[in-house]
Amino acid sequence: MSDTQQVSGSYWLQTAPGGPPRPALAQDLTVDVAVIGAGIAGLSTAWELARAGLGVAVLEAGRIAAGVTGHTTAKLSAQHTLVYDRLRRTRGTDAARLYARSQTEGVERAAEIVDELGIACAWERRDAYTFARRPGRVGELRAEARAAREAGLPASFVTETGLPFSVAGAVRVTGQAQFHPRRYLLALAEDLVARGGQLYEGTRVTGLEEGEPCRLATEDGPVVAARHVVVATHYPLFDRALLFTRLSPRRELVVAGPIGADGDPDGMYITPEENTRSVRTAPYGPGQRFLVVTGEHFTPGTGDTRARFADLTAWATHHFPDLRITHTWATQDNDPTDTVPMVGPLHAGARHVYVATGFGGWGMSGGIMAGRLLTALIRGEPCAWSGLYDPRRLRSQVREAPDFVKNQAKVAGHFLGDRLRPGGSLGSLGPGQGAVVRVGTERLAVYRDDDGDTHALSARCTHLGCLVAFNSAERAWECPCHGSRFDIDGEVVQGPAVRPLERRRLRTRDAEGTGDD
């Protein structure tokens, strides 16, 4: 990708635009449950609650189903790469079984909803595969197949797949699914409103006062009073339990486009090798399928995103020679240090505030599962796997200690180390380029637009103060510590930050010079 080339955008968003924006919240509101975030976890929770007869309002800072969910690979599967053998070893066989049951319920609940609402969302049943090409990983795959089978999944070890290259082995789980996530969620949103639920877009929540009722402050002034609050903002908007210390943000790239139907690998595939490669297809046109290839995971704000896009494109076109790439985009998720998502009470003292986060790249089945689990908790009903996902869990935190320490060391490295590195040069910035530069005693995030004008911002992330870095392919400022993202004018694109980067004015000699005075 060239210096000025940007990602073209998500196929899911472009093929299901969703119509005009829904209104922003304009006056104070009182409801049974306020759900913050309108991705798959938030909308699934709101729909389940409304279906149970509760009064629900969904508050979304942007557009519904347009954030992480709008950029997903959209696999609905209980097979999550190599999770079951690790769960068996670290949490025990019962935990592995509960994980399999709960994720399978997420897949099957989606199937029920598609059928009940008659949603045209390109629903297809497909087998899911975790594969490896290196013979040295065969033992790991065999152990995963055994663990997944013992957990109750229809899993087996195989050596043949539909991929256009040979593999050393793969874990195959039959009867999984894939769909068009935005069409699914737009239909869910319409039915939510038909059931009396309220949906507000362009409504950023900025404050939470816990109590009876809880009170939510919004950026533009209106206050929401709610008996219960669900924080489903991907990364916790309010983090009174310091969950961010147990989450690691991960960004991945996507290249996609049509291929001939005879080249369809007929399945959903993923490998941890080659910095992750994920493959699936979707219905397209006569004699064609739409191929979606995901990979090149990295921490936001690190490395050369354009080079990563080039590597992923080269891999995809090498193995699928007739691929005509029409769409490129990126997605982001949070990996929990102990593998299992965090769904339940926000912190140890929480009585009416809940969170859903840390889906580790598997938010489709996980988000739907979270909707069912949170509805049960709010209604005071039992759920067999509430303990497995409880954010307050303690036993697993001992086992996750090495990953926890590694994650915090990485964050500390960015927080301190990035401040010691020399700044970029203002004079060297070309159109479409950005860099963190030192101007006087301050670090500024400076972007030069295609007309040559500069946009200067404080480089301190408004979440916890780490320095942002520029993503040239997506033209965005990204925080490497906790994954907050901002546009070139500093507005929040993705949390946990809720406030924009502060704007700065460059003096003429700064804008024309090096900025290293």
Q: The CATH number of the domain where 499 resides is what?
A: 2.102.10.10
53: burial class by Cβ within 10 Å (0-12, 13-18, 19+)?
Answer: exposed
User: Which of 143-157, 194-208, 291-305 is predicted least confidently?
Assistant: 291-305
Q: What tens digit of pLDDT does each residue of 15-50 get?
A: 998 888 999 999 999 999 999 999 999 999 999 999
Beta bridge partners of 75: 178
Based on the structure, what is the number of domains in the chain? Answer: 1
- For residue 469, being part of any structural domain is answered with yes
CA distance 344 to 355: 6
- For residue 500, being part of any structural domain is answered with yes
The token duo for 472 is: 């040239």
Domain containing residue 432 = 420-512
Confidence band for 7, pLDDT divided at 50, 70 and 90: low
pLDDT at 513: 46
CA distance 345 to 373: 11
The token duo for 94 is: 């019962």
Confidence band for 512, pLDDT divided at 50, 70 and 90: very low
pLDDT at 514: 46
- pLDDT above 70 for 405: no
- pLDDT above 90 for 92: yes
The token duo for 338 is: 């102990």
**Strands (E) located in 220-287:** 223-231, 247-260, 268-271, 277-283
User: Could you tell me whether strands 198-200 and 223-231 are parallel, antiparallel, or unpaired per DSSP bridges?
Assistant: unpaired
Q: How much helix, strand and coil, in percent to the nearest 5, is found in the chain?
A: 30, 30, 40
- pLDDT above 50 for 300: yes
pLDDT at 412: 47
- pLDDT above 60 for 404: no
pLDDT at 2: 40
- For residue 479, being part of any structural domain is answered with yes
DSSP one-letter string for 85-138: HHHHHHT-HHHHHHHHHHHHHHHHHHHHHHHHHT--S--EEEEEEEEESSGGGH
- For residue 355, being part of any structural domain is answered with no
Confidence band for 395, pLDDT divided at 50, 70 and 90: low
Which candidate, 266, 272, 324, 265, places its Cα nearest to that of 294? 272
Is the model more confident about 443 or about 46? Answer: 46
pLDDT at 403: 54
- For residue 35, being part of any structural domain is answered with no
Give the mean pLDDT of 119-137: 98
- For residue 433, being part of any structural domain is answered with yes
Confidence band for 515, pLDDT divided at 50, 70 and 90: very low
User: Could you tell me whether strands 469-471 and 476-478 are parallel, antiparallel, or unpaired per DSSP bridges?
Assistant: antiparallel
CA distance 214 to 258: 48
- For residue 450, being part of any structural domain is answered with yes
- For residue 493, being part of any structural domain is answered with yes
pLDDT at 511: 46
